[in-house]
Amino acid sequence: MTAWLRKSGRYRDAIRTTLRAKSLPEDLVCLAMVESGFEPSAKSPVGAAGVWQFMPDTAKVYGLVQDRWRDARLNVFASTAAAADALADLHRRFGSWDLAMAGYNMGYGGVLSTVRRYNTNDYWSLSRLEGSFPWETTLYVPKVLAASVVMRNLSVFGYQNVVLDSPIEGDDLVVGPGVSLGTVAHACGVPSKEIEVLNPDLRVGKTPPSNEDSHVLVPAGKAPLCAQGLSKVSASQPPVERYVVRFGETLEHIAQSRHVTVAKLIELNAIAPGESVRGGTVLWVPRNESDRPVAVSLKSSEKPVVVVPAETLSYPGRRRLFYRVQSGDAVGEVCESFNVTADELRRWNDIDLSARLVEGMTLQLFVPTHTDVSKVAVFTEEQVQVIAVGTDEFFRLNNDKGRRRVVVSAKAGDTLETIGRRHGVSTGLMERVNRRDRAERLNEGDRIVVWTLEATGASPSKRTDAETPRNAEERSERSAATVSVRAPEPLPPLP
């Protein structure tokens, strides 16, 4: 209680002023005390944040912006106004401040269902009934009331000598978008920490990229000096503009199109290590001199390779596009972005819809011609090299061992192991290529794929001890066997 009372000096008067202006009991300031101890940066394990511990969805209902640039829940003044509106709504619904405070803790729906289930609207009766409110809510309302009693009777409880923290107040200053708090501090002639304490809602230490000006708090009396200093700084800054990241677009793509480094984009936007920049995120990018976007040129040799199922597909009235999967992408997001169904996505790409999409996969999509894909990073057929799985071109692309893919005809009684020995190919590779067990007896004439280093088998220098004849009789048997084996034949192209 001592710590809470000391910290209450920072915001107590400002909160009471807002409550009074909205015709609410000023003692509701103790609800913020119980929620957070007047700590603007307080966060709960379930996602609540700020002095009033707003959950994300509730905060949106009451107009508190939350994105990578700003979390208005951490702005004491904005969140106090929102909390006052929320409490006023709860009081109008229940007509009781006890139930209104319970609803603030456990949610309106929870209180409503409890009242109906136990058929009483008396908070104190409900708090004594088995299985009614959660235990946290049962203790919550008495805590707020107890804190209010203490705050109104400090000497009775021995707190009359607690020294309150100084009020955290400032002047409102209108600044342009993309201004760093460090720049504001420099213009004011104060340490950066002082400006950060006044503006905890600016998550990355900059005003957001917006078409409108932003508001920041500066130390009282510093606004005119700061405005003058900022006008000089803004004139010397390189021009930037806001950019909405397209679905599937990476920082590398944006940097290439703007002719800057990824490091520069990270610096401009204060992107944290490991932070994922998803579609819809608003960033600062260097301004193009031309109104036209800069095209990313791809030489034919630089075209990314896309492997697709062997089945040939054609859909009149649709165009084929390709999308490179990014970390965190889900099937539903991809389908929504391209106006296609999940079953179509599965059929076009031979994928399992219950499995995760792996970063780096490239999906082919046959998109209706009227679909707007301007907000999605895609490749057209002209920008990629399409290769069907299982074709000669596919195997040439994936042949990194310098081998040649040929087909041989098995003799009766042959196994993958014996054929592999004859051609200097490991048994493991024979199994992997032919999808059969090494000990399985093959029928005469079975066509077996061999990835060999030579067209007619392994050279003597590459034979294993098991392949080396031990005597003249064995050499004779090997010679006779070799004559009866057909030479490897190149595999014909797949249809």
Hey, where are the domains in the chain? 2-152, 171-236, 240-286, 300-389, 397-490
- Kind of pairing, strands 305-308 and 282-286? unpaired
Instruction: Give the tokens for residue 300.
Output: 């034919």
Instruction: Give the tokens for residue 29.
Output: 């300031």
Phi, psi angle pair for 283, to nearest 5°: -125, 165
Instruction: Give the tokens for residue 71.
Output: 């979390």
pLDDT value, residue 296: 43
pLDDT value, residue 294: 43
Amino acid at 120: T
pLDDT value, residue 494: 60
Shortest CA distance to 318 belongs to which of 338, 342, 347? Answer: 338
Shortest CA distance to 367 belongs to which of 329, 328, 323, 326? Answer: 323
Shortest CA distance to 170 belongs to which of 227, 222, 217? Answer: 217
Angle in degrees, CA 12, 190, 199, rounded to 5: 45
CATH fit for domain 240-286, picks 3.10.350.10, 3.10.20.600, 3.40.50.1980, 3.30.420.10: 3.10.350.10
pLDDT value, residue 255: 87
Q: Quote the CA–CA distance of 401 and 50 in Å, as a whole number.
A: 59
Task: Find tokens 């219950």 and name the residue.
Answer: 354
Phi, psi angle pair for 452, to nearest 5°: -110, 155
Domain 240-286 and domain 300-389 have a common topology: yes
310, 389 Cβ separation under 8 angstroms: yes
Neighbouring CB atoms inside 10 A of 248's CB total 23
| Edge-to-edge strands, sheet with 489-490 | 447-452, 404-409, 489-490
CATH class of 300-389: alpha beta
Question: Dihedral (C-alpha) 192, 196, 198, 204: value to the nearest 10 degrees?
Answer: 140
388, 309 Cβ separation under 8 angstroms: yes
pLDDT value, residue 97: 96
Angle in degrees, CA 251, 205, 73, rounded to 5: 105
Q: Quote the CA–CA distance of 361 and 265 in Å, as a whole number.
A: 25
pLDDT value, residue 436: 87
* 495 residues of the chain, pLDDT tens digit each: 999 999 999 999 999 999 999 999 999 999 999 999 999 999 999 999 999 999 999 999 999 999 888 999 999 999 999 999 999 999 999 999 999 999 999 999 999 999 999 999 999 999 999 999 999 999 999 999 999 999 999 999 999 999 999 998 888 888 888 888 888 888 888 898 989 989 999 988 888 887 777 889 998 888 888 888 887 776 666 777 888 898 888 888 888 888 888 888 888 888 888 888 888 888 888 876 544 444 444 444 478 888 888 888 888 889 999 999 988 889 999 999 999 999 999 999 989 998 989 888 899 999 998 888 888 888 998 888 898 887 878 877 776 567 788 888 888 888 988 988 888 888 888 888 888 888 888 888 888 888 887 544 444 334 443 334 444 444 443 443 333 344 455 556 665
CATH class of 2-152: mainly alpha
Using a 10 angstrom Cβ sphere, with 0-12 exposed, 13-18 middle and 19 or more buried, the burial of residue 100 is buried
Q: Which residues contact 306 (CB under 8 A, 6 or more apart)?
A: 322, 362, 364, 379, 384, 385, 386, 387
Shortest CA distance to 254 belongs to which of 381, 377, 379? Answer: 377
The three-class DSSP label of residue 469 is coil
Instruction: Give the tokens for residue 104.
Output: 């603030």
pLDDT value, residue 424: 86
